[in-house]
Structure 1
Amino acid sequence: MQPEFTNWRTEQRAWVDTCALLDQSHHMHDLFVEGPDALRLFSDTGVNSFANFGPGKAKQFVAVDPEGHLIGDAILFHLEQDSFDLVGHPMVLDWVTFHLERGDYEATAERDPNSHLRKSGPPRLYRYELQGPTAAALMAEVSGAPLPDVRFFTMAEFTIAGRRVRGLRHGMAGQPGYELFGPWADSDAVLEALLSAGENHGLVRVGAKAYSTANLESGWVPAPMPALFSDDPLMKEYREWLPVTSVGSIGGSHSSDDIRDYCLTPFDIGYGKTVKFDHDFVGRAALEKLAEAPPRTKVTLVWNAEDVTTAIGSLYRPGPGAKFIDLPKARYATHHEDAVLVDGRQVGISLDCGYLANERVMVSLATLANEYAVPGTEVTVLWGERPVSAKPAVEEHEQVEIRATVAPVPFVDFAREAYRSR
């Protein structure tokens, strides 16, 4: 993915003012599952309800281990009868494939890795996302027809440049939009049509840098630590099945001798409403008990501007200074977890972090003990590692405390008050 087409500040602004075009064709993995037992496979491994999940719909699929800790999440597209596409990071795709191979399911799976890992050839599907205030008008022009009235996370069909295009009603940064996809052979024709029509609607192409921050506005945690390490016999079997490359790096100031302390539950990161006990699934008993009184709540942390400025300014003084804060995304590990403190005591974990040019703030998504999750509460993010790890992205540095204020999720007012409520 191209890092920038113009600059990431302008590109972030596009999904607020006009329309942003984000190319999602290359960074995610697809798992195509087909067969009469495909839906049962997802029901057995996902916390979601599948009672009314028919073709033409999609959902945020969430999976947990037997103890109720997150394996991961992905977007599940119900394409046709008995035909599905699970799109996301490898963690949850691995989990579903493992259960398919060891279980009694009349179904098959075909995996299309992302473009970094694919051994040869292009992706099976292109995937373009349009989002922003002018996205609907652009779609109407490029398709030459009035837009169908579809609900959030429901698919519709369009004709663009003479090609059949499927579109998911979606919007990652809280703005209205569509995720368009189809056969890779149609990718250039569809892209050219979008760019041509977009000239009338302020279309801006968004590169990888700006795209990586969209989740901070909408509140999605992109890479929670997968719960792989427990004494449960199922998890031992799963670890033996997994390739060692399935485990990503851990970074940040959160530190524990118990790897389970890095794991999260669906309730920790805002998936409580997704959990439905209308079916049996792996981890149900643990989540039923946890649902009685979830101990933590997902929030946005707005980092103190003076403290961030001081940390970045330490680059220009004799060192070592603070851990380098990259922009716009400051996360430097696959699974980034910083300790959140109140009066020196840890009360939660700060997760994905970065800079939002539209709001001119540094923020992070976090999960905090309920009593500290009230908007306006003052907390401290411990930035930097002790001891300094051997990861290539980590230089010699000093830990620093950065004050932060608790804010709602989603952070952007439009996303919180208008878009999500509809």
Structure 2
Amino acid sequence: MPESVSEAIARVGSPVELLRNSQARPTIFPVTPEFSNWRSEQLAWRDSVALLDQSHHMTDLFISGPDALRLLSDTGVNSFANFRVDNAKQFVAVNHEGYLIGDAILFNLAENSFDLVGWFMVLDWVQFIGESGDYDVTFERDANSLMRQPGENPKLYRYELQGPNALALMEKVTGAPVPPTKFFHMASFTIDGIEVRSLRHGMAGQPGFELFGPWKDGESVRSAIISAGEEFDLVLVGSKAYSSANLESAWVPSPLPAIFSGEGTDEYLEWLPAGRAGSLAGSFTSDNIEDYYLTPYDLGYDRNISFDHDFIGRAALERHASARRRTKVTLVWNADDVDAAQRTLLEPGLPAKYIDFPKARYGVYQVDRVLSGGEDVGISHDAGYITGEQVFASLASVDAEHAEPGTEVTVVWGEHPNSTKPVVEAHRQVEIRATVYPAPYSSFARENYRTNQV
């Protein structure tokens, strides 16, 4: 039997020790890194149209059975009152104490049939609750290609078309007008004689479609899109650019899940394989794992929360709602300070932690200190470069009094002491000045991301 998270924690002494010194290899997206270069590819979803392959890096958890919707309602903070077939939603789950487990995209595929897609954190939690509770449900997991058996293909292909030319390209490749479809609603199309399901989506704040269907049809659909896309300046986007798209839509992909303490977590950690514990990186350090926990409000998930039903953590989440204190923002890092940090690699002495481009995250859970006047006022999550804005930025949760755009803060970059993660070289901490901006940073994304348009 593989080691459980509970056994791994007992072996090393604490959850923080396990996560901070995880020996797991760096997380990668197992698709082509760059088809041209990540800078031009980033610009494609803003200036023309981008084709991104999501088939390999996400996990699908197919949930079916007469109690499937009840399970999702019991574990999700979202309302399910009008959740019909061909609808989707950003599913958010919390633990019994109201702290965030994670989020994923939930597709309502057919009556009593759902697909929960995303990082494994929230998928694992939902499956555990379903298997350990009184639910008549079945689960089928299609792991991402890093966890899949060699030679085994995904169950579904999943492609993303994003950008101002996405609608015109869809009408060309389908040979018909695209019917009006609300944000996060689905429709079906025919491409090269193949029925394709589509989710109206806006991954980077631009118009877009997420296309999916059986794996055997994937290459034909992709080839048809590429052929039709020539006149619309279609750009193939690799994993480097794709991994940074969330910085523009202001989605934090992997906050540390609140699974290491609280009601019911002992049993869960015994069930969960140690390989899915994740890794912790960044300048924020505490021996208390609960100091890393977030509420959904810290990440701007207010719109997802509905108290129209009972769910795990509801009472605690209501208390968090009345005591909320942090706001999600974008931090634009000072160009001179980023330059100075990188320049230490070319100077004598111990350098700063290498800042990778376009994405600088070096753990599954990136948690860096945000300071004002030398005092901690929040944490910085994902960080990276946005070509279209020519800025290096991070997504952050900061105290409300420091969340006003234009506020000056400081991000502490690097670890002290250095952890033993494989991606961490010997380095010293540096402070980088940053300015608070709205999240999303792009005005187009802020104003258009969730409009009810095709």
TM-score range, shorter chain: over 0.9
CA distance in 1, matches of 2:68, 2:349: 56
AA matched with 1:340: V
Once structures 1 and 2 are overlaid, which stretch shifts more, 302-311 or 286-295?
286-295
Mapping of residues 244-323 of structure 1, within 5 Å: 244-323=274-353
Once structures 1 and 2 are overlaid, which stretch shifts more, 349-358 or 114-123?
114-123
Does residue 23 (structure 1) correspond to residue 46 (structure 2)? The answer is: no
Which position in structure 2 is the counterpart of 1:52? 82
Pick one of 20, 35, 38 that aligns with 1:8.
38
Does residue 407 (structure 1) correspond to residue 444 (structure 2)? The answer is: no
Which position in structure 2 is the counterpart of 1:371? 401
User: SS of the counterpart of 1:49?
Assistant: coil
Does residue 397 (structure 1) correspond to residue 409 (structure 2)? The answer is: no
AA matched with 1:8: W
Once structures 1 and 2 are overlaid, which stretch shifts more, 289-298 or 39-48?
289-298
CA distance in 2, matches of 1:86, 1:75: 6
User: SS of the counterpart of 1:12?
Assistant: helix
Does residue 32 (structure 1) correspond to residue 53 (structure 2)? The answer is: no
Which position in structure 2 is the counterpart of 1:343? 373
Which position in structure 1 is the counterpart of 2:251? 220
AA matched with 2:67: D
Length-normalised TM-score, structure 2? 0.92
Does residue 157 (structure 1) correspond to residue 188 (structure 2)? The answer is: yes
Once structures 1 and 2 are overlaid, which stretch shifts more, 240-249 or 323-332?
240-249
Which position in structure 1 is the counterpart of 2:215? 184
The aligned length equals 421
Tell me: CA distance 1:406–1:287, structure 2 relative to 1, closer, same or farther (3 Å): same
User: SS of the counterpart of 1:264?
Assistant: coil
CA distance in 1, matches of 2:450, 2:329: 16
CA distance in 2, matches of 1:181, 1:170: 12
AA matched with 2:313: G
Which position in structure 1 is the counterpart of 2:8? none
CA distance in 2, matches of 1:108, 1:118: 20
AA matched with 1:142: V
Pick one of 162, 167, 185 that aligns with 2:198.
167
AA matched with 1:81: E
- Per-residue Cα deviation, 1:302-324 (whole angstroms, up to 9, x for no partner): 00000001101111101211110
AA matched with 2:152: G
- Listed as ranges, the gaps of 5+ residues in structure 1 are none
AA matched with 1:27: H
User: SS of the counterpart of 2:416?
Assistant: coil
User: SS of the counterpart of 1:411?
Assistant: coil
Task: Please state how far the C-alpha of 1:220 moved relative to its aligned partner.
Answer: 0.3
- Listed as ranges, the gaps of 5+ residues in structure 2 are 1-30
User: SS of the counterpart of 2:297?
Assistant: coil
CA distance in 2, matches of 1:92, 1:158: 30
User: SS of the counterpart of 1:291?
Assistant: helix
User: SS of the counterpart of 1:268?
Assistant: helix
Q: Is the 8 A contact 2:202 2:449 kept in 1?
A: no
AA matched with 2:229: G
Q: Is the 8 A contact 2:250 2:395 kept in 1?
A: yes
- Per-residue Cα deviation, 1:166-191 (whole angstroms, up to 9, x for no partner): 00000110000000000000001000
Length-normalised TM-score, structure 1? 0.99
CA distance in 2, matches of 1:418, 1:94: 32
User: SS of the counterpart of 2:299?
Assistant: coil
Percent of aligned pairs with the same residue? 63
Does residue 146 (structure 1) correspond to residue 177 (structure 2)? The answer is: yes
Task: Please state how far the C-alpha of 1:420 moved relative to its aligned partner.
Answer: 3.5
After superposition, the CA RMSD in angstroms is 0.8
Once structures 1 and 2 are overlaid, which stretch shifts more, 223-232 or 309-318?
223-232
Does residue 199 (structure 1) correspond to residue 230 (structure 2)? The answer is: yes
Q: Is the 8 A contact 2:99 2:294 kept in 1?
A: yes
CA distance in 1, matches of 2:302, 2:258: 18
Q: Which has the higher contact order (CA 8 A, sep 6+)?
A: 2
Pick one of 51, 63, 68 that aligns with 2:98.
68
CA distance in 1, matches of 2:445, 2:203: 10
- Per-residue Cα deviation, 1:166-220 (whole angstroms, up to 9, x for no partner): 0000011000000000000000100000000000100000000000010000000
CA distance in 2, matches of 1:84, 1:174: 25
